[in-house]
Structure 1
Amino acid sequence: MALEAALAVLALALALAARPWRMLASARPLAHEAHGAPAALWTPLLATLAILPWAWALPTLHRMPLQLQWSGACLVLLMLGWPLAVPTLLLVGLLACLFSPGLVWTEALGLAVWSGVVPATLALLLGVLLRRLMGERSLGGVRAFVYVLGRGFLGTALCMFAAGSLAQWTGHVLPGVEGGLSLVARWLMAWGDAFVTGMLCAVFVAFKPQWLATWSDEIYLRKP
């Protein structure tokens, strides 16, 4: 518990130091694009707070032999950016604790850290690495493909599995799963997150790029 609290406080302090509220100050809540101006990030933010807490609380709301946990942290990172994603994911953990009587606050903290903050941070670092590997001379179509496939799909699977493995190493085991099967279960759950994140990422790039704080036409579509 001490480790989770320290990680949460450190991540929150770094995120707030970047003043993420500035990203939300440019438009009214739920305001969409008008006269070519991009919409703010209110829509994905409010959608995250409305949907994700229930997804996190679901395994404790029903008795199931295998409690599968969906994260969504990498998708939140792509939509909101790391400074805004961290306080949002911590708030999601708090709301999940309030929604589910079977989820105590210590478990909610661990959930917010290992299913929220840690995979989002790993996804941020992976994005920086992919940007450096792409270079400035790669074609715009290639950069867009790397964003969707590398960050949205394959990157999500790797980040979720790495975060789950770290959680297991610190003593957070999956209920109903024993021994080495825990890593297999975490690997399979990571691909569930990857499919959803990759699919929505591709849809948003095509139709709602303003909902992705990590997307930029100048970076991913410009010609070398």
Structure 2
Amino acid sequence: MWTALNLLMAVLCVAVALWLRPWRMLRGPLFTPALASLVLLPWLWLLPQKMPQGLQVQLSGACLLVLMLGWPLAVLVLAGIAAVVWVVGQAEPAAVLQQWVWTGLVPATLALGIGAVMRRWLPPNLFVYTLGRAFLGTAAAVFLSGLLLEGLQWLAGEPARDLSLVARWLMAWGDAFLTGMFGAIFVAFVPQWLATWSDQRYLQPPKP
């Protein structure tokens, strides 16, 4: 059941992303962060395989990808990251598929939704982007993804793991710290690496 559900979600996300033709964005400055993500993030995703059994530290990076590349291109990059993890690592294909969906695609999609809500209801402010969308938005997206996975596993009758929600809560803040830090650095030094950033929107003077 899990493999079929994960495969369905992955195919749906990739189909929508391909329909939007995001590779056109690679002709500009986003080629560099996209390539860097394909090189660096697989090692972050391989970390649980390298740690002692029972100590599964998993960081996502998916929300940062959405900030940098936008959701459609982030989906395709996440597919490449999952492919590298499958080739280099020792995990079974079903485990890599689940990691791709629940560590990558679901947090990325939730981050897209949270970002849309913030753009709609919050003022276009620098701190709303860095502290709200990059930091708090990432924490919410990653934790909600883990909470949804735990809920589906409970509905499927799988045994609950001790302190799993506490661990997911703590790891969500770790992801939020990294995304918020890199988001603030990119805003300050290389804003062209952020597809979701706009000087006209976030740096405009307040209306009287």
TM-score, scaled relative to structure 2: 0.91
Q: Is the 8 A contact 1:61 1:100 kept in 2?
A: no
Q: Is the 8 A contact 1:156 1:190 kept in 2?
A: yes
The residue type equivalent to 1:113 in the other structure is V
User: Which moves more between the two structures, 9-18 or 177-186?
Assistant: 177-186
Residue 110 of structure 2 is aligned with which of 115, 118, 122? 122
RMSD: 1.6
TM-score, scaled relative to structure 1: 0.85
Deviations 1:48-84 (Å, cap 9, x if unpaired)? 1001111111211343431111111101110110010
- Equivalent residue runs for 1:65-214 within 5 Å: 65-101=54-90, 103-134=91-122, 138=123, 143-171=125-153, 179-214=161-196
The residue type equivalent to 1:72 in the other structure is G
Q: Is the 8 A contact 2:63 2:111 kept in 1?
A: yes
What is the CA–CA distance in structure 1 between the aligned matches of 2:106 and 2:121, rounded to whole Å? 23
Aligned CA distance change for structure 1 residues 94 and 170 (closer, same or farther; 3 Å): farther
What is the CA–CA distance in structure 2 between the aligned matches of 1:56 and 1:171, rounded to whole Å? 21
Deviations 1:106-152 (Å, cap 9, x if unpaired)? 11111011010100110011111001112xxx4x6xx1110001111
What is the CA–CA distance in structure 1 between the aligned matches of 2:37 and 2:8, rounded to whole Å? 24
Number of the residue aligned with 2:38: 49
What is the CA–CA distance in structure 1 between the aligned matches of 2:88 and 2:82, rounded to whole Å? 10
- Equivalent residue runs for 1:12-27 within 5 Å: 12-26=14-28
Q: Is the 8 A contact 1:93 1:109 kept in 2?
A: yes
Q: Which runs of 5+ in 1 are unaligned?
A: 27-39
What is the CA–CA distance in structure 2 between the aligned matches of 1:130 and 1:58, rounded to whole Å? 32
What is the CA–CA distance in structure 1 between the aligned matches of 2:107 and 2:74, rounded to whole Å? 11
User: Which moves more between the two structures, 65-74 or 184-193?
Assistant: 65-74
**Higher helix share goes to which structure?**
2
Secondary structure of residue in 2 paired with 1:170: helix
Number of aligned positions between the proteins: 200
Number of the residue aligned with 2:5: 3
Q: Which runs of 5+ in 2 are unaligned?
A: none
